[in-house]
Amino acid sequence: MSEMGEFTIRNARLVLADEVIEGDLHVRDGMIHAVDHQGAVPAGAEDFAGDYLLPGLVELHTDHLENHFAPRPGVQWNPLAAVQAHDAQVAGSGITTVFDALRAGTDEDAGRLGRDMQSLAGAIARGRSEDRLRADHYIHLRCEISSRDVVDEIEPYLGDPIVRLISLMDHTPGQRQFASLDTYRRYYQGRFGMSDEAMARFIEERLENHRLYAATSRAAVVERCRGTGLTLASHDDATREHVAEAVEAGVVISEFPTTLEAAEAARAAGFRVLMGAPNVVRGGSHSGNVAATSLAESGLLDVLSSDYVPFSLLTAAFLLPERVPGMSLPRAVALVTREPADAVGMSDRGEIAHGRRADFVRVRHDGDLPAVRGVWREGRRVA
């Protein structure tokens, strides 16, 4: 990685908060020092040749790390190597701040992943401390409340400064993301090849776990988060009642609401509404739930997450202005930069403006897909 210093970018299409301008960017000591319309620039300035210059993307919910840690059934990779491989793909997709979502609570569909949170969290911390990582990594704890051990698993991490976000999840069949049992069966039988008999047992076990643990685990997680400064999110809200529960818990982000009704209630409650960028790219939800573009058309979309495909974040930012009437490129870019940063209290990044961190991405977009041509974090070239 190059060291921080002073340099100028010239001849870029700068995506600012409310407009796109042709201009220059001056960086000093890792911060944006000046943003100017095109003019005289010093010798040696880097010429972007008309490419876009976007703020570094901010990702709040990705479980993509799991693909590197468990690349095949029964195979686990060195956790630090997995983090570095994940980081390389994240940074190469233009993401400069990433919240790695780690499962908390034993979860049958995840095999050992739920029990390996500690090794992954340790690898992320080591990667940060040893300057091995291109992006700025934090931890998002995905708390499966229908689990008997979720509270015990999160307890050691509640005071860790790199843990900044906690979500309350419940993947019990017959509700939220999987309100349709047929959809639930297709998803899990397709993923694990279970017989109909094994699938029936699996569903019964999940329903029993929900009955035994969900209410008490949810209350305990919420209680332990109070006063910690952690950002709290709900997950897969489907009804106004789900949102009302989230209000009582102190939630500020509604992740992946599954219905228009839930998204409207979340917005009315003052939550930021987060949806998946793959939903935008694919043109709809893989589970048959509400489309992200439908929420955008209704003015109910605040944040996009790459979820399981890092490059989908940048792709969706350029697709939305084509698919949603009235959606400008600056507004679409804000959904993957300023809005997620603000949602977790990171006001130092997410925008091309004086005094913000020099996290930015060079993008060429002259065809079907954007192409990342360079990534800078705090003024250092990282990809």
Stated pTM of the model: 0.91
All CATH 2.30.40.10 domain ranges in the chain, comma separated: 1-55+350-383
Residues ≥6 apart with Cβ < 8 Å to 176: 170, 235, 236, 237, 238, 242, 258
Model confidence over 296-319: pLDDT tens digits? 999 999 999 999 999 999 999 999
For the chain, helix, strand, coil in percent to 5 are 40, 25, 35
pLDDT of residue 188: 72
Contact indicator for 170, 146 with CB cutoff of 8 Å: yes
* Whole-angstrom distance, CA of residue 309 vs CA of residue 319: 15
Report residue 288 CA to chain centroid gap: 21
Looking at the DSSP bridge assignments, the partners of residue 103 are: 142
All CATH 3.20.20.140 domain ranges in the chain, comma separated: 57-348
pLDDT of residue 109: 53
Q: Longest C-alpha distance within the chain, in Å?
A: 72
Token pair 């076990």 is at which residue?
205
In single-letter form, the type of residue at position 167 comes to S
- Tell me the CA distances in angstroms from 41 to 36, 46, 134, one per residue in order: 10, 10, 28
pLDDT of residue 92: 98
Q: Which fold has domain 1-55+350-383?
A: Urease, subunit C; domain 1 (2.30.40)
Domain 57-348: CATH architecture, name and number where available = Alpha-Beta Barrel (3.20)
| pLDDT tier for residue 286 given thresholds of 50, 70 and 90 | confident
